[in-house]
Amino acid sequence: MYQAVHSTSAKVTYNQVDPSGRMRNISLMHMLEEAAIEHCDVIDRDVFTLLEEGFGWILLSGSLRFDHYPRYNDRINTDTWISHWRPHRGTREFLLKDDNTGRLVARASTQWAYVNAKERHITPVAKEFLERWPVKTDRAVESQFIKRPLPLPPKYTTETFTVRRHDIDSNNHVHNGRFLEWVLETVPNNYFENRILTSLEGRFIHEARLHDRILVQAGERADNELVHNVVRQSDGVVLSTGRSQWRFP
């Protein structure tokens, strides 16, 4: 019988921390993704088997809360489960805690679409997932997902990036983690150097592909809150949108 909650444990490694030894935001995001990938493995539907059959999962949107930043050599336990099914997507929850102390590290609620990877469109979720991932209705973050591009404030900064080979994942588009890296690179220095990221919400709207030129925009909407848009330079299409909240140490 399959369990609703999948749990995994991992140690924070040197490559996952910043110069001070604190775990990076992108490393926490990768830890979430690895837990979801393992949840595929335990029901014998690993991501590369799915791809061979022409299907896959892509991240649509998410709400993340960073409660405590682990440090080098800490061991983190991740619980993940499906809280809700819709015909073409599932809502997946994540709860990360320090393995030794039980301290809450991070929480996330995310939406994932099931896609036909060859024809590049969403498709009904396969019955194997509906049957083998039982629903647990508890939410890790009570939040409404962003659905459309957020307006930028009048003043904002822009950085330009070019999609490189190693930005591309198994779905043949830019990996969602690369979007987060671009966004964090565009955060103003007075935020990045003096404050701590406490929450992040985002929506992936369109794919980015190899050699695309990308404009990443960031502007302050309120005290300790930034709005972010990722735009394809060639046609001005917003590829992803989101907001972040910060606090002083």
CATH at 54: 3.10.129.10
Instruction: Calculate mean pLDDT across residues 243-249.
Output: 97
| pTM of the full structure | 0.96
Confidence (pLDDT) at 85: 98
d(CA 161, CA 218): 14
Q: Given a cut of 90, is residue 1 above it in pLDDT?
A: no
For residues 76 and 39, state if they share a domain. yes
Average of per-residue pLDDT values in the chain:
97
Place of tokens 């999948």: 6
Same domain membership, residue 162 and residue 120: no
Structure tokens at 169: 């994942």
Give the model confidence (pLDDT) of 214-232 as tens digits.
Answer: 999 999 999 999 999 999 9
Q: Which domain holds residue 58?
A: 6-132
Are 194 and 118 part of one and the same domain?
no
Same domain, 165 and 109: no
Q: What is the DSSP letter of 190?
A: H
Residue 84 has a pLDDT of 98
Considering the domain boundaries, does residue 165 fall inside one? Answer: yes
Yes or no: say if 198 and 65 are a contact pair by the CB < 8 Å rule: yes
As for how many domains the chain has, the answer is: 2
Element (H, E) at 132: helix 127-132
